[in-house]
Amino acid sequence: MSELSGSVSAAVRSVSARRAWLTPWPAAVVTAMAVVLTGCSSEQVSADKCESVTAPLSDIPTRTDQEPKMRLPVPEGWERSTKMDSENIRFAIRNQGLAADGFTPNAVVTLQKVASGIGKPEQILDAQNQQLAKKLKVTDMNSTPAQVCGAPAMSTSYTAPEVKVSPKIPPIPPRKATSLGVVYNAGDVTYVATVTVQSVKADNPTYVKDADTILKGFQLLPAG
C-alpha cells in the first residue's frame, strides 16, 4: 500500500500543477487491487450490446494484443488532451468552452490489469469505490449496477472535495463526478476499465447532455 499511496500522492501533485484542466486521480488508479476476480468473458461481450449515441467515437489505442478495444464518444466542443496519458490513464478529453472557476470539465479513461482468480466483478468495483472514498475523501457517493457492451459495470456518482494546492494558487473547487467502472476477462487476465467525467458546474445543460453521451456510449469490446 505504501507504493500505491506514493503513486496517488505524486498523481495529485501532478494534477494540481495543471490548473488549466485539473483532474483528480481516477478511481481505478487508487484501487488497492486487494481482491482478484473473474470478469465477464469475451464471449458475453459484443458490439450489438453497446449503447448507441450520436457523437462520433474515438478509438483508444491499445498497448498489447490482449487488451480490450475501447471507444469513447467525443461530443461537439470536446478535444483530446494527452497531458495525463500514462500506463493507467489511456485517454482524456476536455471542453474548454465549459470551463468555470478555473476548472475545465473532462473525461478520463483508465485501464488496469489484474490476475484472474476467484471472486465476482462486484468485489473489485466495490473495492474501487472504497479506495476512492478513502484516498480522495469524496462524499455523496451513490452507486448503481450497469453494463457496458454486455460486461458487468457499476456507475458511481460523488462529490470530490476542494483541494488546496498552495498559498499562491487558488484551490481546486469541489467537483461533481461520475465514474463508470467495467470488468472484462480475457483468458488468464482480467481488466478493469473506468471512464470518469467531472465538472464544477455539473448542472450546466450542455455538460449534463455531453456527460450522459460519454458515459452511455463508452464501448469496451474483445481484442482483435
Question: pLDDT averaged over consecutive 10-residue blocks of the chain (224 residues)?
Answer: 31 34 44 37 81 98 94 98 94 98 96 75 88 90 97 96 87 94 89 97 98 99 89
Domain boundaries, the chain: 2-221
Instruction: Kindly list the strands in the beta sheet with 151-160, ordered across the sheet, starting from the edge strand earlier in the chain.
Output: 79-80, 89-94, 106-115, 189-199, 175-186, 151-160, 139-148
Model's pTM, two decimal places?
0.81
pLDDT of residue 23: 43
Residue 173 buriedness (CB in 10 A; 0-12 / 13-18 / 19+): middle
Nearest to 195 by CA among 82, 128, 108: 108
Topology (CATH) of 2-221: Protein Transport Mog1p; Chain A (3.40.1000)
pLDDT of residue 165: 80
For residue 145, give the 3-state DSSP assignment: strand
